[in-house]
């Protein structure tokens, strides 16, 4: 059953990645080309039909996969690159230093990605893909810090770490040699879960006009543009909605499957 969850998540993620790769190598037509017919049903020229401006839905969905994966990769990278080292430092520190780091994480955690995006857009004067990536990335830092600190505390309490400290090695050496390899599975699981959150957040920001600009197809923006045609042409909103749901579900299932596979405590329970 646990392997089934892992394979289901991996399959959905693979489909999203495949759509992204296809959009790089081939598109049925330019996704921004306005033409006729508008609101057309699926046909040989337009496999999924066209929107209210005559733009090809298949091409826009494919490019939307590229946009959501780009934002997800950058946002999760920001969260991991900043959050993991801070989590290790907080796990290896005592007293005021650890308290300051974790309370700082709590403060950042209190600001949702939407609010951060609004603040960054106001500071830069306009919304952009960079704004969405930075806002989502900053909002994921506390989660990476928490899971990394929790795992690092357990690792730092092991005898081999005590021996390394007794031999005169500092926190930097111990973190690279002992802590980081042992917390890597936890970080991998968190990255998969954070990827799903990032995709959903990017779609929400694009829907509100705070993410990917209108010139670049985005699943969230497509839903916003289709809301006036929900009752007459449901596929305009349903197709990008299904893509968002499949991507988020895929990364969440992948994270759950990896957790069940890599977590030694769960493996002991199942034996």
Side-chain-side CA neighbours of 255 within 13 Å: the count stands at 18
Q: Is residue 152, in this structure, part of any structural domain at all?
A: yes
Contact 236, 57 (CB under 8 A): yes
**Mean per-residue pLDDT for 172-179?**
86
List the domain range (segments joined by +) for residue 175. Answer: 2-28+47-270
Q: Is residue 40, in this structure, part of any structural domain at all?
A: no
Chain Cα centroid distance, residue 69: 8
Using the predicted structure, report yes or no on whether residue 169 has a pLDDT greater than 80.
Answer: yes
Q: What pLDDT score does 164 carry?
A: 85
Q: What is the pLDDT of residues 201-240, one digit of tens each?
A: 889 889 988 888 888 899 999 999 999 898 888 999 999 9
Using the predicted structure, report yes or no on whether residue 84 has a pLDDT greater than 90.
Answer: yes
Token reading at 122: 């106001």
Q: What pLDDT score does 265 carry?
A: 54
Q: Is residue 38, in this structure, part of any structural domain at all?
A: no
pLDDT category, 57, cuts 50, 70, 90? very high
Q: What is the pLDDT of residues 181-209, one digit of tens each?
A: 889 999 999 999 999 999 998 898 899 88
Domain total in the chain: 1
pLDDT category, 266, cuts 50, 70, 90? very low
Higher pLDDT pick, 120 / 135? 135
Domain harbouring 234, CATH code: 1.10.3720.10
Q: What is the pLDDT of residues 13-45, one digit of tens each?
A: 999 999 999 999 988 889 999 987 899 889 888
Q: Is residue 33, in this structure, part of any structural domain at all?
A: no
Q: Is residue 232, in this structure, part of any structural domain at all?
A: yes
Residues 6 or more apart whose CB falls under 8 angstroms from that of 89 comprise 97, 101, 171
Q: Is residue 144, in this structure, part of any structural domain at all?
A: yes
Q: What pLDDT score does 270 carry?
A: 36
Higher pLDDT pick, 31 / 261? 31
Q: In whole numbers, what is the pLDDT of the chain averaged over residues?
A: 88
Q: Quickly list H helices, the chain.
A: 2-25, 57-92, 96-109, 113-124, 129-156, 159-166, 171-174, 180-207, 219-226, 235-262, 264-270
Q: Is residue 12, in this structure, part of any structural domain at all?
A: yes
Q: What pLDDT score does 271 carry?
A: 36
The whole-angstrom separation of Cα 31 and Cα 23 is 10
**Mean per-residue pLDDT for 135-161?**
91
Q: Is residue 92, in this structure, part of any structural domain at all?
A: yes
User: Which DSSP category does 40 fall into?
Assistant: P
């Amino acid at each position: 059953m646990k392997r089934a969850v892992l394979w289901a998540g991996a399959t959905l993620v693979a489909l999203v990645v495949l759509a992204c790769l296809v959009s790089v190598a081939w598109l049925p037509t330019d996704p921004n080309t306005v033409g006729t017919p508008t609101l057309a049903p699926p046909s040989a020229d337009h496999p999924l039909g066209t929107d209210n401006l005559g733009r090809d839905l298949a091409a826009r969905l494919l490019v939307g996969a590229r946009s959501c994966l780009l934002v997800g990769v950058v946002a999760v990278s920001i969260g991991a690159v900043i959050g993991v080292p801070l989590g290790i430092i907080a796990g290896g520190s005592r007293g005021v230093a650890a308290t300051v780091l974790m309370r700082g994480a709590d403060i950042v955690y209190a600001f949702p990605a939407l609010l951060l995006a609004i603040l960054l857009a106001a500071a830069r004067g306009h919304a952009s893909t960079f704004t969405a990536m930075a806002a989502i990335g900053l909002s994921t830092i506390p989660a990476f810090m928490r899971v990394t600190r929790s795992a690092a505390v357990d690792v730092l309490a092991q005898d081999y770490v005590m021996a390394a400290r007794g031999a005169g090695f500092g926190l930097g050496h111990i973190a690279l040699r002992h802590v980081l390899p042992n917390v890597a599975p936890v970080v991998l699981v968190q990255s998969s879960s954070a990827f799903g959150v990032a995709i959903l957040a990017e779609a929400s920001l694009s829907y509100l006009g705070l993410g990917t600009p209108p010139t670049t197809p985005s699943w969230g923006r497509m839903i916003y543009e289709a809301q006036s045609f929900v009752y007459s042409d449901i596929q305009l909103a349903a197709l990008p909605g299904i893509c968002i749901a499949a991507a988020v579900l895929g990364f969440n299932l992948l994270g759950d499957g990896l957790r069940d596979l890599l977590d030694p405590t769960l493996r002991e329970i199942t034996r």
